Chain A
Amino acid sequence: MEEILRMEHITKKFGEFYANKDINLDVQKGEVHTLLGENGAGKSTLMNILFGLYQPTDGQIYLHGKRVAIDSPATAVKLGIGMVHQHFMLVEAMTVFENIILGDRNTRGIFIDKDARRKEILELSARYGLDVELDKPITDIAVGAQQRVEILKALYRGAELLVLDEPTAALTDMEVEGLFRIMKKLTGEGKSIIFISHKMREVLHISDRITILRAGETVKTLNRGETTGEELANLMIGRELAPSHYEKVSESREPVIALSQVDYHKQSKHNGLNGVTLRVGRGEILGIAGVDGNGQSQLAQLVTGVIAPEGGTVDLKGSKVATFSPNGFISENVSHIPEDRNKMGLVGNMSVMENIVLKETDDPQFSDAKGWHLKKRAIRAYAEKMQQKYDIRCQSVLQEARNLSGGNQQKVILARELENEPDLLVAVHPTRGLDIGATRFVHDTMIAARDKGCGVLLISADFDEILEMSDRIVVMFEGAVMGEYSGINPPIDQISLAMAGK
């Protein structure tokens, strides 16, 4: 077989953080090579390097045995690399035909030779079974069809190697079947495909070879015939169980929050909740394990009042919640470490000080006359106290929050959310993108809150974090609860199977 792509010792550092560390990958002509890994495993970084969006800190890329420097997506396209992003890059108001020829320099004078282009596209589409209606605007065609347009666009620009970034995430089962037929056809004609996914069933069905990434490093490359879903799941999440630093709690106390048969956008597999029943007791950490995008975001927003359920009931501290609003939950002493700290947690253009007191400026501690006069000195003194206590490293509390490192931003949020001893803490990916020191600090702080009687709902795509922290573990898959396990000596095999939907 002929080797089309080889990436050697690819390393990409962001600051001190390794997004990719010494990754090796090779793709043969006519194969589907799958990159399998959790969110944050480094798949996207690696593909962005291949497509010229990032420059690697170290390492080489060879195409057809020749070393290449890919400094921009334009170069990548010229070299025959096509990428279909998870979120399509189409101009919605334009027709399929216009989208495909967009940016094409192959013109006759200043005019586009539309008939010739059209003929060319129709040939391609017939050859690979990429059935699209050329004259419909993008807005009028289904998601599956939009994806075919993206693939056609890449082929039209001469792609020999196609990168499909989670192509099945938005598709129905029928459409997935269609996509797989197209992929078979493409590889049959000598094209190569890098397929990115974390859905075990699909991966086993379509791949010729599978490379597993974890925490920015290559774990293993396997042939399809030689492996099982269970092995893949274990490799993907890392099966060695390090003993937890923390003492686990086993007795269950009265629940702070209890969900019963909660539905939200039930029909959506990846952004909904389907009959979720769970409870978080005082003084315990309930960990929600699961591959990202199986309803965890919706669960977090529901138990903080951002969205309201469409069915089922939510009991907060023993009484049924009637109206869902963030303010209502906050006044019931529910704290939230949201999944996107910059977008949802902090006001980036405000100072560290202002972010620390964000929710509490009405409090007599910080303002007189029912909020009509802020006690600026008291606020500053309090913020400086919090800066010490939560080890927030900044030039001064007047520094804008957006200029802080991720770890320090998270500490600002911790100071705000935990200082008032909440009854329930909802923490979503609380250590995503943080270094080891900051991660440890966040974990210690959460454990301390638990020991003071706070119920903690920890949602994380980092399985190690779930194992380390949780007193009980609930696995979510496609919006539903797959099972509940003890956090003391958790049955990892069962949990990883549940995460894969089995």
Chain B
Amino acid sequence: MNKNKLFSVLVPLVSVLLAFLIGCVIMAVLKANPATALGALWKGAFGTKRNVGTTLARSTPLIFTSLCACFAYRCGVFNLGGEGQFLMGSIACCYVATQSGITGLPGIVLCLAAGALAGGLWAAVPGLLKIYRGQNEMIISIMLNYVATLFMGVVYTNWLREGSVPQTMSVPNEVKLTRLFGLRCTSAFIIAVVIGLLIYYFLFYTSMGFQLRAVGLNMTASEFNGFSVKKYILFSFLFSGVIAGIGGSAELLGTQFRLINGFGAGYGFDGVAMALIAQLHPLAAILVAIFFAALRVGSTTMQAATGVPTSVSEIIQALVIVFTVAGLALVKLPEFKAFLERLFPARKEA
């Protein structure tokens, strides 16, 4: 097996192990039995059919934002604006859902399309500025996150406000996404997984995806070999925005139903971290998102059952990110490679 591929799987697994180990030490210091606590964590996330549904529901927006990050990074552009694109998508979706009056499947499709469009347009701003003005896409996309958050504030406090509470009216029942098997998780999860599969196919089984990856890995060589680098950069920005926009719409139609202070907060950057752990592989990104969602959902049960606060789960999540990023950098060091050669001299091939 290819050594690089081996490490790309091994590093995240070892990181997870290490993070849990440290988590256990913290639990022990808090005078809880780590085994019981972890058992409760597992039960909370996957113990019952209902809990599995909750976990998958929680993972859905994370899958969207991590796919959004994956797609842009594959083309070598750093779209840190997943959050803003997610919110702009949900705002557009909220407008169509509450104002258009179209219901049923056409309504849902229209709502999702509006969200996709808004997310894509929001992502086009840093993309166009990068291509035509050489602006740094990271800074602009981050800044646009704040603009989107504040804009959403205007929407739920003024334009679509319902009653005395600062929140929008609920989307009509007719456009809410169907729950799967009566669980918390909705068809949004299916949409997310299908998009992940499509991206995987696109990146690895189509000529365009191949060229897009080449642009991401070496822009100069791609230009010399006749690929329109600018076109790919803009496309990857647009499409990653579309993914985030659909994510925001699906979150609105599937779980939250209204825009409110804190809607979607943090999902954008969670997605970036998960994309990095998944090493930009779209299918791995889905698994990583489910893993993080499980840690989040399970931690409540853990707190209730053993008194270990949910923040321990947050510590574990953070450590997984730190260890993976550090580990991936470590295995690239020449010192580490030399160390391996000393360790396994026999395995060295010509």
Residues of A within 8 A of B (CB): 304, 306, 325-327, 329-331, 336, 338, 343-350, 354, 358-359, 361-362, 366-367, 371-374, 376, 395, 398, 400
Contact = CB atoms under 8 A, between A and B. Distances in A.
Contacts of B227: 327
Interface stretch (B23-31, B60-68, B215-223, B241-249): B215-223
6 contacts: A329-B226, A338-B224, A346-B218, A358-B225, A361-B211, A367-B207
A371 B207 contact: yes
Contact of A327 (B204, B221, B226, B350): B226
Contacts of A349: 217-218
B218 A372 contact: no
A354 B204 CA distance: 11
B81 to A, nearest CB: 25
B209 to A, nearest CB: 9
Contact of A304 (B207, B213, B220, B224): B224
B211 to A, nearest CB: 7
A459 to B, nearest CB: 15
B210 interface: yes
B333 to A, nearest CB: 16
A348 B4 contact: no
Contact of B218 (A330, A348, A362, A373): A348
A415 to B, nearest CB: 14
B207 A372 contact: yes
- Which of B204, B208, B213, B221 is packed against the most chain A CB atoms within 10 Å? B221
Given A326-B226, A358-B214, A398-B2, A347 B206 contact: no
> Which secondary structure dominates chain B's binding surface?
helix
Contacts, number: 70
A71 to B, nearest CB: 18
Nearest to A334: B226
Contacts of B224: 304, 306, 326, 336, 338, 344-345
Contacts of B208: 371-372
A372 B206 contact: yes
Contacts of B228: 327
Nearest to A329: B226
In this complex, which of B4, B205, B220, B224 has the most chain A Cβ atoms within 10 angstroms of its Cβ? Answer: B224
B349 interface: yes
A404 to B, nearest CB: 13
A362 B221 contact: no
Contacts of B349: 395
B226 A344 contact: no
Interface string B83-106: 000000000000000000000000
Interface of B: 2, 4, 204-208, 210-211, 213-214, 217-218, 220-228, 349-350
Contacts of A331: 226
B205 A343 contact: no
Given A343-B218, A347-B214, A374 B205 contact: yes
Nearest to A343: B220
Given A345-B224, A346-B221, A348-B218, 7 more contacts: A327-B226, A343-B220, A344-B221, A358-B225, A361-B211, A371-B207, A374-B204
Contacts of B4: 400
Contacts of A362: 207
B2 A373 contact: no
A400 B217 CA distance: 12
A348 B213 CA distance: 12
Contacts of A325: 226
A359 B206 contact: no
Contacts of A329: 226
Contacts of A373: 205-206
B210 A347 contact: no
List 7 A-B pairs, minimum CB-CB distance, nearest first. A371-B207, A327-B226, A361-B207, A330-B226, A326-B226, A347-B218, A344-B224
B210 A374 contact: yes
Given A354-B210, A371-B208, A374-B210, A347 B217 contact: yes
B201 to A, nearest CB: 9
Nearest to A379: B210
A350 B216 CA distance: 11
A361 B214 CA distance: 12
A304 B220 CA distance: 14
Contacts of A347: 214, 217-218, 221-222
B213 A350 contact: yes
A362 B227 CA distance: 12
B131 to A, nearest CB: 15
Nearest to A376: B205
B226 A359 contact: yes
A362 B208 CA distance: 8
A331 B225 CA distance: 11
Contacts of B2: 398
Contact of A361 (B210, B217, B218, B350): B210
Nearest to B349: A395
Nearest to B211: A361
A398 B224 CA distance: 23
Contact of B223 (A306, A361, A376): A306
Contacts of B223: 306, 326
Nearest to B350: A395
A118 B228 CA distance: 52
Nearest to B223: A326
A343 B221 contact: yes
Contacts of B218: 343, 346-349
Contacts of B350: 395
A389 B350 CA distance: 21
B348 to A, nearest CB: 12
A327 B227 CA distance: 7
A237 B4 CA distance: 44
A358 B211 CA distance: 8
Contacts of B207: 361-362, 366-367, 371-372, 374
